[in-house]
């Protein structure tokens, strides 16, 4: 008789939990209140989607270049197709930047070995064969003065990068 009473009690408790679970409230000490930050008057919001590592909504306190916005989204992923994107364009509030995938060609990056010369820092450029701090600075200065590189071949326009040096790095850079 005692076993029957225990079984009946277990059935009753499990039924109460099963049917009453919609009405169980989370105690306040386990709830977390997150206050939404009020947008600042001059913030620029940009929605970044597609072949980037961290798609989402980004805010900037000032206008930056599309390439910088994509960099904030974790850069492009393998098989990104950035050909139709103007990396040098200034962003504006409400802009949607979509980086398409290119699944028919060669990956634009191979395991992190390829460096985007329009976004690379001096330290990143120094990882390329034959590129030291002074040449990296020349590349950045050229990019800042003339705008984004349209292709890796444009590196030959930088004083000090000839055909031989370019041949060493051409497979390791992208624009």
> Which of 8-22, 55-69, 81-95 is the least confident region?
8-22
d(CA 98, CA 22): 41
pLDDT for 122 beyond 80: yes
Residues 89-93 have a mean pLDDT of: 93
Mean pLDDT of 98-109: 70
Residues paired with residue 173 on neighbouring β-strands, in sequence order: 115
Spatial separation of the C-alpha atoms in residues 145 and 120, rounded to whole Å: 15
Look up the domain containing 63 and give its range: 42-109
Enumerate the β-bridge partners of residue 56.
Answer: 48
Do residues 99 and 64 share a domain? yes
Residue closest to 64 by CA, chosen among 55, 76, 73 = 73
pLDDT for res 26 = 41
Q: List 102's β-bridge partners, or say none.
A: none
Q: Is residue 100 domain-shared with residue 61, that is, in the same domain?
A: yes
Is residue 82 domain-shared with residue 128, that is, in the same domain?
no
- Would you say residue 28 has pLDDT above 80? no
Look at residue 1 and give its three-state secondary structure: coil
Residue 104 sits in the same domain as residue 46: yes
User: Does a structural domain hold residue 3?
Assistant: no
Residues 6+ positions from 92 with CB-CB distance below 8 Å: 44, 63
pLDDT at 57: 93
User: Token pair for residue 65?
Assistant: 């270049």
Verify that 117 and 82 share a domain, yes or no.
Answer: no
Gap between the Cα atoms of 52 and 139, Å rounded = 25
Name the percent of the chain lying above pLDDT 90. 19
pLDDT value of residue 31: 38
CATH number at residue 155: 1.10.150.320
Residue 26 lies in a domain: no
Task: Please give the average per-residue pLDDT across 128-157, as a whole number.
Answer: 87
> Mapping DSSP to helix (H, G, I), strand (E, B) and coil, where does residue 79 land?
coil
Burial zone of 107 (CB within 10 Å; 0-12 exposed, 13-18 middle, 19+ buried): middle
Domain for residue 64, yes or no?
A: yes
Per-residue pLDDT at 93 exceeds 80: yes
- What CATH number corresponds to the domain at position 71? 3.10.20.600
Assess whether pLDDT exceeds 60 at residue 32: no
Q: Examine the pLDDT at 110 and tell me if it is beyond 50.
A: no
In a domain, 171, yes or no: yes
Q: Binning pLDDT at 50, 70 and 90, where does residue 23 land?
A: very low
Name 114's Cβ contacts closer than 8 Å, sequence gap at least 6: 108, 171, 172, 173, 174
Closest of 98, 101, 59 to residue 79, by C-alpha: 101
pLDDT, residue 12, reads 60
Higher pLDDT, 17 or 40: 40
- Strand runs labelled E in 32-152: 44-50, 56-60, 95-99, 115-116
């Amino acid at each position: 008789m005692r076993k029957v009473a225990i079984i009946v009690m277990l059935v009753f408790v499990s039924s109460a939990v099963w049917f009453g679970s919609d009405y169980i409230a989370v105690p306040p000490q386990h709830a977390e209140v997150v206050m939404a930050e009020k947008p600042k008057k001059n913030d620029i919001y940009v929605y970044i989607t597609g072949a980037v590592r961290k798609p989402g909504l980004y805010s900037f306190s000032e206008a930056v270049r599309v390439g910088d916005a994509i960099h904030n989204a974790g850069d492009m992923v393998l098989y990104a197709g950035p050909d139709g994107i103007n990396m040098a364009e200034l962003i504006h509030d409400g802009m949607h930047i979509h980086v398409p995938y290119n699944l028919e060609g060669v990956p634009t990056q191979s395991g992190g070995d390829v460096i985007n010369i329009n976004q690379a820092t001096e330290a990143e450029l120094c990882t390329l064969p034959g590129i030291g701090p002074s040449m990296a600075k020349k590349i950045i200065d050229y990019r800042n003065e003339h705008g984004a590189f349209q292709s890796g071949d444009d590196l030959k326009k930088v004083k000090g990068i000839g055909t031989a040096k370019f041949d060493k790095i051409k497979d390791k850079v992208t624009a």
